[in-house]
Amino acid sequence: MKDDFSIKGEVIAVLEAIEDPTQGKNLLDAHMIEQVDVQSGVVDITVLVELGRTREERFSLEDSIYNKVEEIAGVNEVKVKLTTPKAVAQQKNADPLPEPKQPAAAKPKAAAIPQAEPIQGVGKVIAVASGKGGVGKSTVAVNLALGLRDLGYRVGVLDIDIYGPSLPTLLGLMSRPSVSERQIVPLQTQGLRIMSLGFLMEDDTPVIWRGPIVTGIIRQFLRDVDWSGLDYLIIDMPPGTGDAQLALAQTVPVDGAVIVTTPSKLALIDAARGLEMFRTLNIDVLGIVENMSEFVTPTGEVFKIFGDGGVEEEAKRLDTTVLASIPLDPAVRSGGDEGSPVVASAPDSPAAKSFLALAENVAKQRPIQPGEESADGKKKGLFSFLKS
């Protein structure tokens, strides 16, 4: 049986596919959806409709929403309420005579991409991405977050790899988040606030969703989760270039992207595509992380298993920098499998030190404004308070 959170994601996707004939935009881009609430399969939708629409237009819109949402599996009842925007309603009460309509030529041209709005209470949003899967992107994202935590910052991690969420395994947590005052409360572990679809799905349940539904879920994670009070929100992206990347860019301003790759030629080709995608979306790329850069045997012998020098050359060609080189270290694998990433489980290991250097580079490029400082001069973050 579907839970209410999954149903809400599908409802949002349906609303995004319904076009308002008056404005020529879908209901989300037209900012007509004031509220979507799902309780035990009962869907309540509040729609903002400006003054001046005919009764037939209002009924047609209401029927369109009702009929499409009713088809969603798990929906028991649909309630659609059409209301007037508050500002227009106040103006109507003050003056019973409606304002004359503006000529069509005076209307502003609709933007091609919805305006991204910051997440209230979050300092910087950092996306960790890769051009292809299997290069250790999620491992880098989690250890980057822990490195920032160790620098004294308040950090959250959002896993929007909808088809392959890794956060529950990497952090050893399988609880379900709670809801408070219509907001999802992220889970907390190891000094981080975390959210992932993996916390809402049964084990081994495949996610077989089309792009619009994925987009709706990602927007929920960004808007309906209580991220307030964070210095950094690390976004663990899905690999490649697609709906999730576009949904992120359209929903919130991203302060920088970190591209993860191995030194192999095949991974570097896809990493370059991913980097250019972020630039196309006007998102600054902070640099490249070279993961699995080398393997050092117990006797000190070094093996460049995936190649040598390719990441530096590609970074130079793409006019960016190498933020860190992370060696192949058994402690990284074991820490991830056991729910205790290497920065937490083996902080003195070479890999953990490389992750801390990555965190320092990210914090240097995207610094947080000075706030409350502890006695050692570091910014007091969530982890500092949890340890005290």
Q: What is the pLDDT of residue 179?
A: 78
Q: Express each pLDDT in 202-227 by its tens digit.
A: 666 666 667 678 888 888 899 899 99
What is the mean pLDDT of the segment spanning 13-22? 88
Higher pLDDT, 21 or 362: 362
How would you classify residue 204: left for phi > 0, otherwise alpha for psi between -120 and 50, otherwise beta?
Answer: left
133 labelled as ligand-binding?
yes
* Mean pLDDT value of segment 355-382: 68
Can you give the pLDDT at residue 307?
83
pLDDT above 50: residue 382: no
- Write down the pLDDT at residue 206: 61
180 a known binding residue?
Answer: no
Let me know whether 325 and 357 are in one domain: yes
- Residue 109 is assigned to a structural domain of this protein: no
Q: Tell me the backbone φ, ψ of residue 251, rounded to 5 degrees.
A: -95, -45
**Picking from 5-9, 215-219, 255-259, 354-358, which range would have the lowest pLDDT averaged per residue?**
5-9
User: Which CATH number covers residue 174?
Assistant: 3.40.50.300
Q: What range defines the domain where residue 50 resides? A: 4-100
117 within domain boundaries: no
Segment 264-274, tens digit of pLDDT: 999 999 999 99
Q: What is the mean pLDDT of the chain?
A: 83
Nearby residues of 366 by Cβ (< 8 Å), 6 or more positions away:
124, 126, 232, 255, 256, 286
Helix (H), strand (E) at residue 196? strand 192-196
Say yes or no to pLDDT of 369 above 80. no
Ligand-binding site membership of 52 (annotated) = no
Residue 137, annotated ligand binder?
Answer: yes
User: Does 114 map to a domain?
Assistant: no
pLDDT score of 209: 67
In tens, the pLDDT along 39-97 reads 888 898 988 888 778 878 888 888 889 889 989 988 888 888 888 775 334 444 444 43
Are 199 and 127 within one domain? yes
Q: Is 216 annotated as a binding residue?
A: no
Evaluate whether 156 touches 192 at the Cβ level (below 8 Å): yes
Overall number of domains in the chain: 2
Asked whether residue 105 is assigned to any structural domain, the reply reads no
283 and 146, same domain (yes or no): yes
Rounded to 5 degrees, what are φ and ψ at 6?
Answer: -65, -40
pLDDT tens for each residue of 221-236: 998 999 999 999 999 9
Write the CA distances from 272 to 123, 287, 313, 380, integer angstroms. Answer: 28, 11, 12, 37
- The reply to whether 211 sits in an annotated binding site is no
Q: What is the CATH number of the domain that holds 27?
A: 3.30.300.130
- Is residue 81 marked as binding? no
Same-domain pairing of 56 and 202: no
- pTM of the model as a whole: 0.70
Region 356-379: mean pLDDT is: 71
**How does strand 322-328 pair with strand 285-296?**
parallel
Contact 263, 253 (CB under 8 A): no
Contact 289, 159 (CB under 8 A): no
Sorting pLDDT into bands at 50, 70 and 90, what band is 309? confident
Give me the sign of the Cα torsion angle 145, 149, 153, 155: positive
Provide the H-helix boundaries in the chain: 4-17, 55-70, 86-94, 137-150, 167-171, 211-223, 243-251, 265-280, 310-317, 330-337, 342-345, 350-365, 382-387
Plot region of 264 (φ>0 → left; ψ -120 to 50 → alpha; else → beta): beta
